[in-house]
Amino acid sequence: MSCLKNRMAVAPPSCCLVAFPPRAKDGLVVFGKNSARPRDEVQEVVYFPAADHEPQSKVQCTYISIDQVPRSHAIVISRPAWLWGAEMGANEHGVCIANEAINAREPAAETEALLGMDLVRLGLERGSTAKEALDIIVALLEEHGQGGNYYEDADSCHSFQSAYLIVDRDEAWVLETVGRYWAAEKTTEGVKCICNQLSLTTKIDAEHRELRSYAQSQGWWTGEDEFNFSEVFSPADEHLDCCAAKDSLEKQEESITVQTMIDILRDKASGVCIDSESFLTTASIVSVLPQNRSAPCIHYFTGTPDPSRSIFKPFIFVGDIKLVPKAQSPCFGDDDPAKKEARFQEKPDRRHELYKAHEWARAVIANDQEQGRQLRKTMLELEKQGLAAMEEILTSSEPLDPTEVGDLFYDCVDTEIKFLK
């Protein structure tokens, strides 16, 4: 099945970032993403426990079903509520993945296949390291291809190519894809950022075996010059400008902390936090991955739009996680218009309880200066308490008590809703 292509589909201006020690503080790897999406789209934060699957079983992704694996890892993801995959998330092994929609010289496929967001979730469910997740994503990409509508829109098809930032406690991989072709670069130091355009140049650490011959067959590369991925595959009219988030990260004079990353994601003046006519930062994540393996990874999700008016709430993987229905959208089952063959003929109300409570707060902050200032101050105080408690866990010599953090995200969401009400 194909969708009616919107030829002028503009890639939403999301950004994904990572900082490694010593640029990041205290032996921590710090990862972050702002997810820019259509303004009215709702994102939910969902936890899926590890699971064993029957032999020969299938998994239904957003548009197609593929072979399931014997065991999937526990994951926590932030995703547009209408689709199966994820904009960003983490798994129980300390792997974090986020993706970017990008345009390339080759138009993205309109035929329904795997979405970039499906590949984020599949990488998390199946990869126990960043490199393993990379290998899984590219194998699935080569087997099934990518394509289909990125938006819940019946009127036109917004299809894109995809880039990924795949991170664990030791390394990060930037993976950029065009159709079934791909290239990847490994990083273990400094800072790295991906935005809504190709960024890999001549340093390529892994690639599709036919990438260069394909570029030659299309007349995009002579085979004589040095191979520069983004020069070869970017749209001819695209000006490769620098990413605002990368600028912000590189300007940091002090060590980068969780708070630094949150502040960068909240920055509207620089263009990292999007609030435009078409797009809004509809959800954000910051993760901290200690290189000391005895310390837990901590993942902070907003679950609400506009990080400058949201609270980053912590999640830690333990054996017994309390589910958080208040940050999950209503389920419409097989009646969901996204699952029917003529897609998106209706748009159901996908707002969850946290989103609805937050809508009120955003309106107050926007419209009432004094009340808005007080409200935002209290929200930041709540967040600060959570950050301080997590800092204690990271610096403690005592082992983590799983019973104390199994309902951590649940409690934070509950507290935020009560406070907003």
H/E element, 99: strand 96-102
Residue pair 210/233 in contact by the 8 Å Cβ criterion: no
Phi, psi of 174, rounded to the nearest 5 degrees: -95, 120
Phi, psi of 408, rounded to the nearest 5 degrees: -60, -55
Distances (CA, A) of 182 to 131, 137, 164: 14, 10, 11
**Cis check: omega of the bond before 22, within 30 degrees of 0:** yes
Tell me the two tokens of residue 252.
């940091």
- Find the length of the chain: 421
Strand partners, 177: 182
Neighbours of 280 (CB within 10 A): 20
By C-alpha distance, which of 362, 347, 356, 233 is closest to 307? Answer: 362
Residue pair 64/113 in contact by the 8 Å Cβ criterion: yes
**Cα separation, 267 vs 248, whole angstroms:** 9
Residue pair 147/110 in contact by the 8 Å Cβ criterion: yes
**Cα separation, 58 vs 41, whole angstroms:** 28
Residue pair 314/386 in contact by the 8 Å Cβ criterion: yes
Phi, psi of 103, rounded to the nearest 5 degrees: -100, 145
**Cα separation, 183 vs 200, whole angstroms:** 8
Q: Is the dihedral of CA 246, 237, 88, 279 positive or negative?
A: positive
**Cα separation, 285 vs 300, whole angstroms:** 6
Q: Give the residue numbers annotated as catalytic, written as ranges.
A: 16
By C-alpha distance, which of 241, 214, 240 is closest to 106? Answer: 214
Q: Measured in Å, how far apart are the chain's first and last C-alpha atoms?
A: 44
Phi, psi of 256, rounded to the nearest 5 degrees: -85, 130
